[in-house]
């Protein structure tokens, strides 16, 4: 999906945190259910779904960079740091994330990260935990790690890495892990720090992967088949913008072939990254050549689909949770043009206002 459903002079009717009606203001205001409703005047501004970020690290060690095998800080400290990051995400209009466990190299610390995610669920963000094992022995992953995380209901998506510190992993190991994960009930996501080779793309098709987190490749023959199985191409800002010229051409070719693309901030507590999703819109349009409509879809609906969260996030439709943003612009096409701006004046989650910027008084 790369088109937006624009309702000029529109209105939303929200009841108990759920969107009841969407349509022209004149119609919605005259509905019986709107009588006595509290009104928020959005005249001359844009209302849009809250951002969704499909690949973030809410919990990570204090050390930078993150070495393999590092033990995390105490759960109390990890929870405090993750809570601060979650609050900052919400401030920038991101109310749903896919939070991975990549900085935890052993099962004990993976479970610690996932329990922090559980403790933060809905405070204020919706968190989809992603179990991201970092190259354990295949037999341990299949016989112990996958069942341990599943049985405790700590994560329902597993992310399998197709490359490692010493190069690509054995395809037979990946396939065995994918089969074992599917048998337990996990959804599959693949990740690579490099462009995926045909073998990795074929595995994504065979596994019915929800998404692939990797720089966009130029193998257009896979774009249409992956889109047909609902596999979203998740492009990390930390890698997708490093080679913007080639990435732009690959993205355009893939989108033209029907691929669904999600853009992620690649946020982590250590290192350099930004939580300003509006800035990501600017980069997507002005460095990767996406249209404003494609960029907004790539930061709302598509990442929600890649996390199996489209029933609660990523769009403003009747029956969906009222997770939305009020933007201080009169035209959504202005959002990507305003590099470095933060035009959010109101953040609402499930009908509750989380943040509201004070009005400017020029008297």
Domain residue limits, the chain: 10-48+316-356, 51-306
Residue 68 has pLDDT above 80, yes or no: no
Mean pLDDT of the region 67-90: 79
Taking the C-alpha atoms of residue 93 and residue 188, their distance in angstroms, rounded to an integer, is: 27
Taking the C-alpha atoms of residue 352 and residue 17, their distance in angstroms, rounded to an integer, is: 7
What pLDDT, on a 0 to 100 scale, did the predictor assign at position 103?
A: 85
Mean pLDDT of the region 82-88: 93
In sequence order, the β-bridge partners of residue 234 are 213, 262
What pLDDT, on a 0 to 100 scale, did the predictor assign at position 164?
A: 60
- Compute CA distances 147 → 77, 153, 181, 307, 358, whole Å: 27, 10, 8, 21, 49
Mean pLDDT of the region 179-207: 92
Q: In terms of CATH architecture, what is 10-48+316-356?
A: Roll (2.30)
Taking the C-alpha atoms of residue 191 and residue 160, their distance in angstroms, rounded to an integer, is: 6
Give the largest CA-CA distance in the chain: 70
Taking the C-alpha atoms of residue 234 and residue 196, their distance in angstroms, rounded to an integer, is: 12
- Tell me if 10-48+316-356 shares its fold with 51-306: no
Q: Assess contact for 226 and 233: CB atoms under 8 A.
A: yes
Which has more pLDDT, 96 or 195? 96
pLDDT band at 148 (very low <50, low <70, confident <90, very high): very high
Mean pLDDT of the region 76-105: 92
Q: Which fold would CATH assign to domain 51-306?
A: TIM Barrel (3.20.20)
Residue 308 Rama label (left phi>0; alpha psi -120 to 50; beta): left
Residue 213 has pLDDT above 80, yes or no: yes
Q: Assess contact for 318 and 302: CB atoms under 8 A.
A: no
What pLDDT, on a 0 to 100 scale, did the predictor assign at position 167?
A: 43
What pLDDT, on a 0 to 100 scale, did the predictor assign at position 341?
A: 82
Mean pLDDT of the region 162-189: 82
Q: Assess contact for 157 and 307: CB atoms under 8 A.
A: yes
Task: Encode pLDDT of 9-65 as tens digits.
Answer: 999 999 999 999 999 999 999 999 999 899 999 999 999 999 999 999 998 775 555
pLDDT band at 351 (very low <50, low <70, confident <90, very high): very high
Measure the N-to-C terminal CA separation of the chain; round to a whole number of Å.
Answer: 45
Taking the C-alpha atoms of residue 347 and residue 92, their distance in angstroms, rounded to an integer, is: 8
Residue 48 Rama label (left phi>0; alpha psi -120 to 50; beta): beta
Q: What percent of the chain has pLDDT over 90?
A: 64
What pLDDT, on a 0 to 100 scale, did the predictor assign at position 240?
A: 64
Q: Assess contact for 159 and 100: CB atoms under 8 A.
A: yes
What pLDDT, on a 0 to 100 scale, did the predictor assign at position 70?
A: 45
DSSP secondary structure string for all residues of 235-271: EEHHHHTTTHHHHHHHHHHHHHTT-EEEEE----SSS
Task: Encode pLDDT of 9-25 as tens digits.
Answer: 999 999 999 999 999 99
Q: What percent of the chain has pLDDT over 70?
A: 91
Q: Quick check: pTM over 0.75?
A: yes
Residue 135 has pLDDT above 70, yes or no: no
Cβ neighbours of 38 (radius 10 Å): 5
Neighbouring residues of 137: CB distance < 8 A, sequence distance ≥ 6:
none
Mean residue pLDDT of the chain comes to 88
Which has more pLDDT, 244 or 44? 44
Which has more pLDDT, 270 or 28? 28
Which range (57-61, 91-95, 150-154) has the least confidence?
57-61
Q: Assess contact for 188 and 179: CB atoms under 8 A.
A: no
The number of angstroms, rounded, from the C-alpha of 227 to the middle of its chain's C-alpha atoms is: 18
Residue 105 has pLDDT above 90, yes or no: no
Residue 363 has pLDDT above 60, yes or no: no
Q: Assess contact for 269 and 60: CB atoms under 8 A.
A: yes
Helix (H, G, I), strand (E, B) or coil at 89: helix
What pLDDT, on a 0 to 100 scale, did the predictor assign at position 359?
A: 56
What pLDDT, on a 0 to 100 scale, did the predictor assign at position 172?
A: 84
Which has more pLDDT, 193 or 336? 336
- Alpha helices for 94-169 (secondary structure H): 107-120, 138-140, 146-151
Taking the C-alpha atoms of residue 104 and residue 108, their distance in angstroms, rounded to an integer, is: 8
Which has more pLDDT, 198 or 240? 198
Residue 325 has pLDDT above 60, yes or no: yes
């Amino acid at each position: 999906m790369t088109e937006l459903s624009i309702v000029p002079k529109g209105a939303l009717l929200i009841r108990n945190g759920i969107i009841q009606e969407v349509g022209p203001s004149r119609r919605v205001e005259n509905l019986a259910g709107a009588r006595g409703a509290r009104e928020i005047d959005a005249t001359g501004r844009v209302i849009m779904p809250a951002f969704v970020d499909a690949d973030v690290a809410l919990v990570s060690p204090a050390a930078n960079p993150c070495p393999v095998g590092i033990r995390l800080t105490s759960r109390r400290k990890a929870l405090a740091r993750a809570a601060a990051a979650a609050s900052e995400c919400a401030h920038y209009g991101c109310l749903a994330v896919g939070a991975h466990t990549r900085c935890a190299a052993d099962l004990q610390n993976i479970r610690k990260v996932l329990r922090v995610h559980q403790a933060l669920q809905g405070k204020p963000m919706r968190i989809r935990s992603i179990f991201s094992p970092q190259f354990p022995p295949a037999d341990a992953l299949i016989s112990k790690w996958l069942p341990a995380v599943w049985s405790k209901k700590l994560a329902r998506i597993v992310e399998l890495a197709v490359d490692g510190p010493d190069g690509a992993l054995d395809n037979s190991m990946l396939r065995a892990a994918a089969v074992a994960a599917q048998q337990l009930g996990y959804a599959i996501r693949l990740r690579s720090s490099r462009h995926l080779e045909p073998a990795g793309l074929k595995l994504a098709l065979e596994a019915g992967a929800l998404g692939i987190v990797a720089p966009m490749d130029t193998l257009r023959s896979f774009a249409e088949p992956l889109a047909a199985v609902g596999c979203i191409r998740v492009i990390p800002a930390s890698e997708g913008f490093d080679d913007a010229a080639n990435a732009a051409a690959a993205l355009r070719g893939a989108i033209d072939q029907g691929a669904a693309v999600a853009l992620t901030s690649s946020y982590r507590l250590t290192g350099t990254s930004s939580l300003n999703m509006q800035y990501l819109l600017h980069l997507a349009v002005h460095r990767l050549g996406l249209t404003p409509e494609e960029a907004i879809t790539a930061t709302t609906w598509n990442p929600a689909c890649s996390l199996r969260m489209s029933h609660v996030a990523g769009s403003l439709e009747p029956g969906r949770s009222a997770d939305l943003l009020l933007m201080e612009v009169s035209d959504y096409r202005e959002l990507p043009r305003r590099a470095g701006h933060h035009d959010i004046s109101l953040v609402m989650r499930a009908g509750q206002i989380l943040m509201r910027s004070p009005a400017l008084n020029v008297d």
